[in-house]
């Protein structure tokens, strides 16, 4: 049987593989912890929430006003106000959606990175063995 020295080629390959595996597992574990921490911090401020609520109420009120003004001389002016309110609401809604999705993107990035590191570690440890 062949003797494998502790400081030989096999040991020099196992250290980087172990580092990759531990780093990958750490990233996978972080993918479950970090997003929950990100949601506990305010990514959507109270001021933004109030602005979103005001824009929603304004758009709702103007849509009712437009319905009541149908066929009157005020209809074109109200239509213009509705378009402006829709643009404001749409911009705030886009910001809110981005704030909601941010933790999901962080988790996905960490999971992909962790999986890649684990795959590299497994490749280095098991596939690159000397015969």
pTM reported for the whole predicted model: 0.60
Q: How far is CA 121 from CA 29, 49, 69, in A?
A: 17, 45, 68
- Residue 12's Cβ-side half-sphere holds a number of Cα atoms within 13 Å equal to 5
d(C-alpha 12, C-alpha 17), whole Å:
9
Tokens at 110, concatenated: 């960490």
Read off the tokens for 65: 């006003």
Tokens of 81: 């106000």
Q: What is the pLDDT along the chain (131 residues), one digit of tens a residue?
A: 444 455 555 666 688 888 999 999 999 998 888 776 665 556 778 888 899 999 999 999 988 888 887 778 888 888 899 999 999 999 999 988 888 888 888 889 999 999 999 999 888 888 766 54
């Amino acid at each position: 049987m062949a003797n494998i020295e502790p400081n030989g080629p096999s040991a020099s390959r196992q250290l980087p593989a172990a580092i990759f595996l531990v780093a990958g597992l750490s990233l996978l574990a972080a993918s479950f912890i970090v997003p929950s921490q990100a949601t506990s911090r305010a990514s959507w401020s109270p001021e933004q929430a109030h602005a979103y609520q005001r824009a929603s109420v304004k758009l709702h009120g103007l849509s009712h006003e437009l319905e009541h003004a149908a066929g009157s001389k005020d209809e074109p002016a109200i239509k213009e106000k509705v378009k402006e309110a829709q643009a404001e609401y749409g911009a705030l809604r886009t910001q809110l959606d981005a704030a909601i999705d941010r933790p999901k993107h962080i988790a996905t990035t960490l999971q992909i990175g962790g999986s890649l590191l684990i795959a590299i570690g497994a490749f280095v440890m098991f596939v690159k063995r000397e015969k």
